[in-house]
Structure 1
Amino acid sequence: MTLEQLSIFIAVAEREHLTNGAAAVGLTPSAASAAIKALENQYGVRLFDRVGRRIELTRAGRLFLTEARRTLASVREAEGLLSELGGLRTGRLDIEASQTIANYWLPTRLLRFCELHPGISVGFRDGNTASVVQAVISGRAELGFIEGTIDEPALASLPVHTDELAVVMSARAGHIASRTTPARLHELNWVMREPGSGTRAEFEAALAAIGVDCRTLPVALTLPTNEAVLSAVRGSSCAAALSRLAISPFVASGELAMLDIALAPRQFTILRHKERRLSAAALEFERLCRERD
């Protein structure tokens, strides 16, 4: 059994989806399938059942998932200790971040960290809030970055940046945008991020704060990335709520128009496991994120 096999198994098991799990660890579905099959053959145990087009964990698979997570977390802690002993000359830092942070806020900070500590290998994945939380709980990621806050007893959180959501439409629909008030938001068609994303959850909370029930909004389309939402809105008369970090180039170019809807600011938050000691690399990256903000 190898650590790579454990990582592949955990990624596929948490998603119960071979293609998505393989993508999470940077492999093709066939390579991930071969690794899991080798693990099953080596120990003579079946970890997944194929049910129609889906895969499901067997009872043995569910039991093994708990131990696999614990083992991988212990390995990360051992790597962190060696990193400290090496004075940040070597080691590994695993991070997972929700999409807005991953695409618009974190890259410059990651680059700065790599410039300062070239011997540290950085594993970086994006997801949504739900997947980031699970990654930190399982030990797959030492640090997680999400939009907003969560109530998870196993995790500690630290706010590192204040962001703003804005409601936008195509500039071609500017005549609609100019006369839209909070009370008339339900008259618009909406393109939304998927349930489980920080952007979706924070938008719904911001609407509630100004007395708008999100259930009254007609949702024309739900999409899994900010970029997909931006493309849909730019080519339609629909509205969307996205981070100012994501929309600013399109507002500046005149492609998108912002509605005069005041939404409460939200926090970008770092997550860590309460019971696991952070490696020197994780502590240094956390410090860098706070400092540069």
Structure 2
Amino acid sequence: MAQLENFRLKVFRSVAEHLNFRKASEHLFLTQPAVTLQIKALENDLGVRLFDRSANRVALTAQGSVLLRYARKISALAAQAEHELGAEGGQFSGELSLGVSTTIAQYVLPRLIGAFLDEHPRVQLGLRSGNTEQVVQLVLDGNVAIGLIEGPARERGVHTEPFMRDELVLIVPPNSDPAHFSAQQLLASSLLMREQGSGSRHVVEAALEKSRLKLKSFKSVMDLDSTEAIKSAVEAGLGVGFVSRWAISKELELGALRVAQVRGLTMARHFSLVTRTGPTQQGLTEAFRLFALTRGKLQSNSGKPRRLRPSTR
């Protein structure tokens, strides 16, 4: 089925939401000159300037902000029409925008969307990643239809629901000894942490506080901006860190990292789906939400990460 949303409006919406022509071109799988050409053509058609451009920034004009508001409404209506027309035999089509926090994007989402696209091959996915706070903001701003986050969402205006269990575990270098840490041994270590705003960091801080362990009491604390950076630093012997069990299956198999138990310290959590509060989700967004809830429950009940098998229906 052809997409009902006007192509130039779709290009405009991407540039307006990214405020960056290069990022918009990557998102749309177009060249940057092609994106620029579409924007200029749209400005000529409308007789207004939509963006203020300078060497270092792109900003919406007042007219651009008005058009973005209507472009989002047009996109939502077009998507709803596509969903209702295309949901034959349980299959959906159209574009679904997801905001995904970092750990989920790297270690969980590929399996999840692979299985979803096996069932709905005509769906086009647009993905934007960031930490939990950034993903929640994307949902609030209407830049994505649904978010998948690691930590709690404290902001008003969003609804969250858990869809998959997770556990943060302490990873140590492969030659580390012992495999069990006391609180005192943990405090004597250099702790590698995710950055502020990360859902993983929030869980670690809450668990440490519950156990009356303060960050300032550690030998040292280093903030890193990704789970991969923490794993590499631990493997290099720079310290220890708490990461999702989903993130280390390969390293454990290869013997590159070990998991150490900390007496009296557990960090169980749930990954959550987040949507804006308001009317019940419809069509493709609701189909993905229900799919994620169902598959997430299957994964959680399995007790360990495993490949999501596509449906055979």
Q: Among 146, 149, 173, which residue is 2:149 paired with?
A: 146
Say if 2:270 is the partner of 1:267: yes
Q: For 1:1-293, what aligned pairs fall within 5 Å after superposition? A: 3-42=6-45, 43-50=47-54, 53-84=56-87, 86-92=88-94, 94-96=96-98, 97-118=100-121, 120-128=122-130, 129-172=132-175, 174-175=176-177, 181=183, 184-185=186-187, 187-190=189-192, 192-214=193-215, 218-220=220-222, 222-223=224-225, 225-261=226-262, 262-292=265-295, 293=297
Q: 2:52, 2:80 → 1: CA distance?
A: 28
Q: 1:21, 1:101 → 2: CA distance?
A: 23
Q: Is the 8 A contact 1:166 1:241 kept in 2?
A: yes
Instruction: Give the unaligned 5+ runs of structure 2.
Output: 298-313
* Bigger Cα displacement from structure 2, 133-142 vs 96-105: 133-142
| Structure 2 letter corresponding to 1:170 | P
* Bigger Cα displacement from structure 2, 261-270 vs 87-96: 87-96
Q: Is the 8 A contact 1:93 1:121 kept in 2?
A: yes
Q: 2:280, 2:236 → 1: CA distance?
A: 48
Q: Which is higher, the Rg of structure 1 or of structure 2?
A: 2
Structure 1 residue 150 displacement after superposition: 0.7
Structure 1 residue 243 displacement after superposition: 0.6
Q: TM-score, normalised by structure 2?
A: 0.73
Q: 1:57, 1:94 → 2: CA distance?
A: 24
Q: 1:204, 1:259 → 2: CA distance?
A: 18
Structure 1 residue 182 displacement after superposition: 6.4
Structure 1 residue 137 displacement after superposition: 3.6
Q: Secondary structure of the equivalent of 2:90?
A: coil
Q: TM-score, normalised by structure 1?
A: 0.78
Structure 1 residue 164 displacement after superposition: 0.7
Given the superposition, is the C-alpha separation of residues 117 and 260 from structure 1 closer, same or farther in structure 2, using an over 3 Å criterion? same
What is the count of residue pairs matched by the alignment? 286
Structure 1 residue 127 displacement after superposition: 0.5
Q: Is the 8 A contact 1:101 1:146 kept in 2?
A: yes
* Bigger Cα displacement from structure 2, 7-16 vs 139-148: 7-16
Q: Is the 8 A contact 2:80 2:283 kept in 1?
A: no
| Structure 1 letter corresponding to 2:90 | L
Deviation beyond 6 Å, 4+ runs, structure 1: none
| Structure 1 letter corresponding to 2:125 | G
Q: Deviations over 1:127-160 (max 9, x none)?
A: 0224433443444433321113213433222211
Q: Deviations over 1:47-73 (max 9, x none)?
A: 2342x5333444444444433333333
Q: Secondary structure of the equivalent of 2:261?
A: coil
How well do the aligned residues superpose, as a CA RMSD in angstroms?
3.4
| Structure 1 letter corresponding to 2:93 | G
Q: 2:66, 2:76 → 1: CA distance?
A: 16
Q: 2:216, 2:65 → 1: CA distance?
A: 36
Q: 2:42, 2:214 → 1: CA distance?
A: 49
Q: Secondary structure of the equivalent of 1:153?
A: coil
Instruction: Give the unaligned 5+ runs of structure 1.
Output: none
Structure 1 residue 183 displacement after superposition: 7.6
Given the superposition, is the C-alpha separation of residues 40 and 234 from structure 1 closer, same or farther in structure 2, using an over 3 Å criterion? farther
Structure 1 residue 161 displacement after superposition: 1.1
Structure 1 residue 256 displacement after superposition: 1.0
